[in-house]
């Protein structure tokens, strides 16, 4: 909607991860380096944890995009509360193997034979498990057992686990001792610093085709940092809404006052979207919504936003016809 107004080729702050927009902050580069190190080792587990919205999925997708697919067959699993047998079924489906039976022995045999075929081709399998904090301990243990598949003392399968801080706490439990011994590297991803936040926003705007980098006044970045605490997903949500506000109000430059107006609107509509960025939001015991319930809520939320945006656009156009004499300032003070 606002892309044409600002001369953008696409939306720069979409919520869905797109490796094209990967921003190499110090934290993200470090996490990606650990994953690449794990690939070089070809065995064991790599564990990446971090708060909600810090870009763990973006890192995983960036890794998949850069790996040598002639040597590695990679699959990605975004999981919720899976039992061991459900995990095996999903893995088999991702490898395009028969899943007509839910017999564990049969599924394991199909997976093992596929891994042997890859080995004969000079390849091995990589499983990236996203949202791994939702996996029960017995399912994580099943992943460990899969790592035992070998040929001539060479591992046939490697797994990377990405999840929220709850995953780190779960892996530290006493019954996870054998799994911890298989972890060759782990890293906890932190939010962007204030300087990185500014570079992150400009990076995405530039990739989306923005020519004039003075779209935001300097004091906007301080306010964005205060409200989002450097969480990329929250930055994207706030910036997308801010650009929409700028378009609806014919602003070529957005001031901190404009940004505060957007924040006030969002607080009234969706109070948890931006403001729930205090220390409690980072705690490992924060409740997790059921996956199906989350999908329903997000769908309803998306429909609500679309309807409200359409109403605002129509209202704004109507007001433009009635109040043409009103001049809107285009310059930031």
Residues 52 and 127 in one domain: yes
Choose the final residue of a domain: 154, 188, 222.
Answer: 188
pLDDT at position 61: 86
Residues 102 and 66 in one domain: yes
pLDDT at position 287: 35
pLDDT at position 289: 39
Residues 151 and 204 in one domain: no
- Whether the CA torsion 167, 74, 37, 35 is positive or negative: it is negative
Let me know: does 164 contact 50? Beta carbons within 8 Å. Answer: yes
The answer to whether residue 53 sits within a structural domain is yes
pLDDT at position 64: 86
Widest pairwise Cα distance in the chain: 81
> Which residues span the domain enclosing 174?
26-188
Residues 138 and 86 in one domain: yes
Let me know: does 46 contact 184? Beta carbons within 8 Å. Answer: yes
pLDDT at position 218: 92
Question: What does pLDDT average to in each consecutive run of 10 residues of the chain (333 residues)?
Answer: 90 90 91 89 91 90 85 88 94 92 92 96 93 93 94 92 92 92 92 95 94 86 95 95 94 93 83 52 40 50 54 54 46 51
Burial of 314 (0-12, 13-18, 19+ CB in 10 A): exposed
Residue length of the chain: 333
Let me know: does 180 contact 149? Beta carbons within 8 Å. Answer: no
- Residue 216 phi/psi, 5° resolution? -110, 140
What CATH number should be reported for the domain holding residue 134? 3.40.50.300
- DSSP output for 242-266: HHHHHHHTT-SSB-HHHHHHHHHHH
Choose the final residue of a domain: 188, 216, 234.
Answer: 188
Residues 131 and 240 in one domain: no
The answer to whether residue 307 sits within a structural domain is yes
Q: Number of structural domains, the chain?
A: 2
As a whole number of Å, the CA-based R_g of the chain is 23
Residues 59 and 180 in one domain: yes
pLDDT at position 65: 85
CB environment 87-114: b (16+ within 10 A), e (fewer): bbbbbbeebeeebeeeeeeebbebbeeb
The answer to whether residue 30 sits within a structural domain is yes
């Amino acid at each position: 909607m606002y892309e044409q107004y600002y001369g953008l080729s696409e939306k720069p702050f979409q919520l869905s991860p797109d490796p094209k927009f990967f921003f190499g902050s110090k934290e993200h580069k470090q996490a990606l380096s650990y994953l690449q190190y794990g690939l070089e080792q070809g065995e064991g587990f790599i564990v990446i944890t971090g708060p909600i919205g810090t870009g763990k999925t973006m890192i995983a997708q960036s890794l998949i995009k850069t790996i040598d697919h002639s040597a590695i067959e990679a699959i990605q699993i975004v999981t919720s509360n899976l039992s061991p047998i459900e995990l095996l079924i999903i893995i088999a489906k991702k490898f395009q193997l028969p899943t007509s039976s839910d017999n564990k022995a049969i599924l394991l045999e199909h997976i093992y034979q596929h891994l042997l075929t890859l080995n004969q081709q000079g390849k091995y399998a990589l499983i990236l498990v996203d949202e791994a904090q939702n996996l029960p301990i017995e399912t994580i243990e099943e992943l460990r057992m899969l790592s035992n598949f070998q040929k001539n003392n060479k591992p046939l399968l490697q797994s990377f686990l990405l999840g929220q801080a709850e995953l780190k706490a779960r892996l530290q439990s006493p019954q996870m001792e054998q799994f911890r011994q298989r972890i060759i590297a782990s890293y906890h991803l932190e939010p962007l610093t204030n300087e990185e936040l500014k570079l992150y926003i400009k990076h995405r705007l530039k990739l989306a085709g923005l020519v004039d980098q003075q779209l935001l006044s300097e004091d906007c970045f301080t306010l964005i940092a205060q409200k989002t605490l450097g969480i990329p997903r929250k930055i994207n949500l706030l910036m997308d809404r801010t650009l929409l506000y700028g378009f609806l109000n014919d602003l070529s430059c957005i001031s901190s006052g404009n940004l505060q107006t957007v924040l006030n609107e969002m607080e009234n509509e969706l109070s948890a979207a931006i403001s729930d960025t205090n220390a409690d939001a980072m705690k490992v015991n924060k409740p997790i919504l059921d996956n199906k319930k989350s999908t329903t809520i997000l769908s309803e939320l998306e429909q609500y936003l679309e309807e409200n945006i359409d109403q605002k656009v129509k209202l704004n156009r109507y007001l433009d016809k009635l109040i043409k004499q009103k001049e809107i300032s285009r310059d930031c003070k």
